Structure 1
Amino acid sequence: MKGPISKFVEEHYKHFNAAALVDAAKGYETHLAEGGKMMITLAGAMSTAELGKSLAEMIRQDKVAIISCTGANLEEDIMNLVAHSHYKRVPNYRDLSPEEERELLDNHYNRVTDTCIPEEEAFRRLQKHIYQVWKDAEDKGERCFPHEYMYKMLLSGDLEQYYEIDPKNSWMLAAAEKNIPIVVPGWEDSTMGNIFAAYCIKKELQFSTMKSGIEYMAWLADWYVNNSKGKGVGFFQIGGGIAGDFPICVVPMLYQDMEMENIPFWSYFCQISDSTTSYGSYSGAVPNEKITWGKLDIDTPKFIIESDATIVAPLIFAYLLGW
């Protein structure tokens, strides 16, 4: 049974990007019903946009098999979990002067559009806990991926004392409890990545304690081969950038560079993006361009919704969850 949000979408979203939203949601639903699995990729600052309010339930209901995300999305969901009340909203962010921006910095706020993340309560609060997780692993001679360290921190229970939102709205906590795989390309381009690099430069940690992006790609190759039988794996891309481009490349790598036979293309594709096609932009590339790169096939169901992902993604997830 579909709930009021889903019924509203079906009744009113009849044309243009609205219709594409409905088509993509129904295509996703069909893909899962026929036994397919789905990868969701998160670009931008979707965690700070609190996508966890719907994504966490998608994870709990097994509507997501694997996630690819930026290092920022990996950490910012946990930051919101432990420091939500300290965030500062700036509705008039377009009008801020350079001096007002500097004032935010001096008060230890880092702005993401209209939302400012508090440095002490978010970054530094996590830092002391994640450092201990890294150090303990290094002392034992262990090497893990960035998300695996985050999972260890979350599942240890050490952060529970700081929770400031309902934990059911944290997608990272839901992912940790389900132990679903996450791929985090370019993790070093994040606050925790910067912090880890600083510890390494100061000789307090070793670079080798953190598994690399190349190791993520090798791991993903193995996962894809083992999970693409039957209906195959779909690709639901929120935004563009490395979170999407990195994992989608695993298919051409497997059959072109590894020269493996019978590697299926991604079996569903949807992209939510407000980027336009221009001068080599990956984020704005239409799905058909991906055919030429050996990522999608002629008959792969393809959807592109040219709109704001913070509006579109929660609506699609609500539809899939029957809300």
Structure 2
Amino acid sequence: MKAKRAKQRPEDINAKLAAKKGPVSQFIAHNYRHFNAAALLDSAKGYEAHLKAGGKMLVTLAGAMSTAELGLTLAEMIRQDKIHAIVCTGANLEEDIFNLVAHDYYERVPNYRDLTADDEQKLLDRHMNRVTDTCIPEGEAMRRIEAAVAEEWLAADKAGQRFFPHEFMYKILRSGKIKKYYQIDPKNSWMLAAAEKNLPIIVPGWEDATLGNMFAGRVITGEIKNVHTVRTGIEYMTWLAEWYTKTAKLLKTGEGSIGFFQIGGGIAGDFPICVVPMLHQDLGRTSVPLWGYFSQISDSTTSYGSYSGAVPNEKITWGKLGAKTPKFIVESDATIVAPLIFSWILGQ
């Protein structure tokens, strides 16, 4: 009787996969063997397998990932066609560009947990807007970009033209009008990489972002006549529905599907994932496939009714994912996890 062949250990499989990659990936393969660490690596391998099968990937950005400088790895992911569409909050859209033009004026507050109300007031008096341990300078960042994009808003308003929030951002980046203010290596700006690729970006709830507030202010004062000069909300959803339908149809000739990689929760993730049940249930496009891969990095708990913290299987009941869809959840800090996953996919 033949002896049974010893089962290959997971760490040996991962080491073999990492052998052709760089030191970061090799570190992950060697050390990330259990719990959330293993889930991180499983998610990264699943992402790679999805792309290798001919799939496309939609990535969602919640929180303050741009201020966390996710562009350091996200920009290269875009350049290497590892990402095919992004859904993000208005804050992430603008804060990458704020960092691009005002990085040297930012201030880090390592002891932010110890700040008193008076300390916070002093930051406000200096026009330093705090995001956890990082303060964004109003004058050099927000007002500088406001001045540039307001020119585009007013020109479009006068001409009776309408554009999405991300299209206005692409306009100011492509025009070169803010290039003289760049304070980081442009290769580390994910918005610049996206503009160069003309990457589809969807920005639900843009109105609550800093620039969204500024646009609303100009509508209130009458400086901007048409509130619809900036396209938002429902128009983004209808655009996404057509993009998903068209992209899925193109992929039908192969084996690929559209994947969903979610960083954080909130509207950035909730908005786009609903497009599939809408296509099926409200438009009768039942031939459109479900999302073909799902992964979420989240620290939201499931025990308080938090949709952002719902485990992937719950999405099956809503017609978003299938029973056999590859599903991953890494319950950890996205500022730590996302760059590592992206580094693995980039072979770093």
**Quick one: distance in 1 between partners of 2:265 and 2:158?**
37
**Quick one: distance in 1 between partners of 2:326 and 2:232?**
32
Q: Larger Rg: 1 or 2?
A: 2
Partner of 1:211: 231
The superposition leaves residues 73-100 of structure 1 with CA deviations (integer Å, 9 ceiling, x where unpaired) of 0000000000000001000000000000
Question: What code does the residue aligned with 1:246 have?
Answer: F
Structure 1 range deviating more: 277-286 or 52-61: 277-286
Partner-residue secondary structure (3-state), 1:237? strand
Partner of 1:87: 106
Asked if 1:20 corresponds to 2:20, the answer is no
Kindly state the Cα deviation for residue 227 of structure 1 after the two structures are TM-superposed.
0.9
Partner of 2:216: 197
**Quick one: distance in 2 between partners of 1:211 and 1:279?**
34
1:284-323 paired onto structure 2 within 5 Å: 284-323=309-348
Partner of 2:295: 270
Q: TM-score, normalised by structure 1?
A: 0.99
Partner-residue secondary structure (3-state), 1:29? helix
- Pick from 259, 262, 267: which aligns with 2:284? 259
Question: What code does the residue aligned with 2:337 have?
Answer: V
Partner of 1:99: 118
Kindly state the Cα deviation for residue 15 of structure 1 after the two structures are TM-superposed.
0.5
Partner of 1:112: 131
Partner of 1:243: 268
Partner of 1:146: 165
Kindly state the Cα deviation for residue 260 of structure 1 after the two structures are TM-superposed.
1.7
Kindly state the Cα deviation for residue 119 of structure 1 after the two structures are TM-superposed.
0.4
Partner-residue secondary structure (3-state), 2:54? coil
1:35-74 paired onto structure 2 within 5 Å: 35-74=54-93
Question: What code does the residue aligned with 1:145 have?
Answer: F
**Quick one: distance in 2 between partners of 1:278 and 1:137?**
47
The superposition leaves residues 166-219 of structure 1 with CA deviations (integer Å, 9 ceiling, x where unpaired) of 000000000001000000000001000000000001111120101121000000
**Quick one: distance in 1 between partners of 2:211 and 2:142?**
8
The superposition leaves residues 244-292 of structure 1 with CA deviations (integer Å, 9 ceiling, x where unpaired) of 0000000000010112221211000000011110232111110001011
Partner-residue secondary structure (3-state), 1:279? coil
Stretches of structure 2 that go unaligned for 5 or more consecutive residues are 1-19
Please identify runs of 4+ aligned residues in structure 1 that moved more than 2 A: none
Stretches of structure 1 that go unaligned for 5 or more consecutive residues are none
Kindly state the Cα deviation for residue 28 of structure 1 after the two structures are TM-superposed.
0.3
**Quick one: distance in 2 between partners of 1:53 and 1:279?**
34
Partner of 2:183: 164
- Pick from 219, 226, 244: which aligns with 1:224? 244
Partner of 1:4: 23
**Quick one: distance in 2 between partners of 1:320 and 1:159?**
32
Partner-residue secondary structure (3-state), 1:253? helix
- Pick from 145, 150, 153: which aligns with 1:134? 153
Partner-residue secondary structure (3-state), 1:269? strand
Contact 2:203 2:232 in 1 (8 A): no
**Quick one: distance in 1 between partners of 2:317 and 2:279?**
16
Q: TM-score, normalised by structure 2?
A: 0.92
**Quick one: distance in 2 between partners of 1:194 and 1:258?**
34
The superposition leaves residues 85-121 of structure 1 with CA deviations (integer Å, 9 ceiling, x where unpaired) of 0001000000000000011000000000000000000
